[in-house]
Amino acid sequence: MPQRSDDRFASIARFLGEQGSELATVEKALAVAVEIIDGCQHAGLSLVQSARKIQTPVATSAVALRGDELQYELNEGPCLDSIASQETVSCPDLLREERWPTWGPRVAAELGVRSMLCFQLFTTARSLGALNLYSESADAFDAEDLAVGLALAAHIAVALAASREIDSRDLAIVTRTVIGQAEGILMERYDLSADRAFSVLKRVSQETQTKLASVAAELVRTRRIPQVLPADPPQPQP
């Protein structure tokens, strides 16, 4: 199983690529999230089904499954916000949270959940969902956990898309996923914001006259920063 190290993204990619089916890949990805993200005790995957019904086909525990189901029942919660409009939704402490006045107190009282991270998940233009990470501690997730979660969400999206028929209309969704994964690598390695990571990719694309998606794909594939970097590149943290 991959460990927390500088090459953890490459290890995750190889590990998930070895799984034999869509279900096995998703199950392993959720198990990886619980193992390598400090403070994450439970993880679930929300997917929008036919007639816009949302379900959780895979979860690492009954806590994650019930936490997701309560969001669907009450029609409020971070994974619903992530699916609807936000790429990433963070909740440091559900006991001080005002965005979900019914779901927040209830999931904290019934399940002992205190904080969450949810990542929007696109598999095709017509299929989407969210990767949901639950913690029993307040303020459990930091910027590094955010970067790892983004990468895991990207791997899950690509795995799901690869197991289904993808047409040209869906390629843009997969491209967006790969760019997001490349941003996550830069965010973790250089302690950048999402906007700054995207700016680095864009500048490299312009200076090398290479498509942005190609720059991102090369970074994801090799886990190495392109040789040509914009002026005043970010410096690795000691």
The domains found in the chain, sorted by start residue, are: 8-167 (3.30.450.40)
Q: Which span out of 53-57, 119-123, 170-174, 176-180 was modeled with the highest average pLDDT? A: 53-57
- For the segment 83-113, what is each residue's pLDDT rounded down to a tens digit? 887 778 999 999 999 999 999 999 999 999 9
The more confident residue out of 229 and 94 is 94
Question: Which residues lie closer than 8 Å to 88 by C-beta, 6 or more apart?
Answer: 82, 117, 118, 119, 120, 146, 149, 150
Inter-CA distances, 127 with 34, 42, 48, 122, Å: 25, 24, 6, 6
Three-state DSSP state, 204: helix
Instruction: For the chain, give the mean pLDDT.
Output: 78
Span of 109-113, 175-179, 195-199, 233-237 with lowest mean pLDDT: 233-237
